[in-house]
Amino acid sequence: MRIILALLVSLMCMRVGAEPLSVSKFSQREPWAGYILELLTEALARTPGPEPDQWRRVETRMNQDRAFAMLRTGEDLVIYWSMTSTAREQGVITVRIPLMKGLLGSRLLIIRKDTLGKFDRIKTLDDLKTISIGQGLDWPDTAIKTAAGLHVVTSSSYETLFRMLKAKRFDGISLGANEVEEELAKQRDPDLIIEKNIAIAYPAPVFFFVTPKKKALAARIEKGLRLMMEDGSFNAIFDKRWSKSLIANNMKNRLVFQLPNPLLSPQTAEMIRQHPEHFLFPPLRQDK
């Protein structure tokens, strides 16, 4: 994976044009970082600047809140990608094109085999509130689930979540429908499985965010992504990374609990209303 990502960064240096750019260090939490960088590379290649872009990886390990603080100053970070929220959109430029087709808002659960019976009994939202769900402390999902009355247990470390699950600190880890298979495979633990009966869904697009010091860069990214959507290359890169049929099959015949997302900005809620085609599973209308 490190070799592939290094090659992608090198490729960006050769192919695109314009400004000095800093991107965050790739974390184990983001096995899809290569996909995101490929989108970014191709978007900027379609809107070249006057001079070759100079890329720099920010080596500092950071949580999401710290990354946004750095992005607002633009000193050490100029581009970041994350699930959005009103707070995260403050003081940065938001490129409102869902990079992962909303899949991080279609959540499945990794659970212990010994809790299968507990999940088989979940038929209503009140039933769902009786289980405990593990989440990252700074994930927007945590606030979304808490606002809906679900029981959420948090950890500041993603890697710690699986140890907490095995130690029975909570009943399941909630991850995107495009993440669960890979994350479970990485654990190599026969006592952990993907729960098969329920899903939790809410509108949760992942966007590019750009420091306010780089307005031209943000405009290039948005224009490039829109050109990619028009010529089909956006979908081609998505399909190369994930199987839409596999994800759809994994979501089939589930009881889906639709939750509102109170964290959405009015601008993002309006984008969702106007462009359901940007999502693999269009979210329910979010009235603001």
Distance CA 128, CA 137 (A): 20
pLDDT at 49: 79
Percent of the chain whose predicted confidence (pLDDT) is above 70: 85
Look up tokens 């495979």; give the residue: 185
Distance CA 94, CA 80 (A): 10
pLDDT at 64: 82
Residues of the chain with CATH 3.40.190.10: 2-102+204-242, 105-201
Q: Domain spanning 2-102+204-242 has what CATH number?
A: 3.40.190.10
**Residue 11: pLDDT band with limits 50, 70, 90:** very low
Q: Flag whether pLDDT at 158 surpasses 60.
A: yes
**Residue 57: pLDDT band with limits 50, 70, 90:** low
Look at 55-69, 103-117, 206-220 and tell me which has the smallest mean pLDDT: 55-69
Judged by DSSP in three states, 237 sits in helix
**Residue 201: pLDDT band with limits 50, 70, 90:** very high
Average confidence (pLDDT) over 68-72: 92
Residue range 241-264, pLDDT digits in tens: 988 888 888 898 999 999 999 999
- The model's pTM: 0.85
What does the chain come to in residues? 288
Q: Strands, DSSP E only, in 89-248?
A: 93-95, 106-112, 132-136, 151-155, 172-176, 192-194, 198-201, 206-210
Average confidence (pLDDT) over 163-167: 96
pLDDT at 162: 95
**Residue 33: pLDDT band with limits 50, 70, 90:** confident
**Residue 2: pLDDT band with limits 50, 70, 90:** very low
SS (H, E, C) 10-56: HHHHHHCECCEEEEECCCCCCCCHHHHHHHHHHHHHCCCCCCECEEE
Q: Flag whether pLDDT at 20 surpasses 70.
A: no
**Residue 59: pLDDT band with limits 50, 70, 90:** low
Q: Domain spanning 105-201 has what CATH number?
A: 3.40.190.10
Q: Flag whether pLDDT at 29 surpasses 80.
A: no
